[in-house]
Homo-oligomer: A and B are copies of this chain.
Amino acid sequence: MDQTPAILPELKSLRDSIDNIDAAIIHMLAERFRCTQRVGVLKAEHELPAADPAREARQVSRLRELASTAQLDPDFAEKYLAFVVREVIRYHEATARELSEKTAR
Contacts and interface: CB of A to CB of B under 8 A. Distances in A.
B83 A27 contact: no
A42 B76 contact: no
A67 interface: yes
A39 B8 CA distance: 11
Interface in A21-37: 21-36
Contacts of A7: 42, 45-46
Contacts of A67: 26, 30
A11 B39 contact: yes
A38 B18 CA distance: 11
Interface of A: 3-4, 7, 10-11, 14-15, 17-19, 21-36, 38-39, 42, 45-46, 48, 55, 59, 62-63, 66-67, 70-73, 76-77, 79-81, 83-84, 87
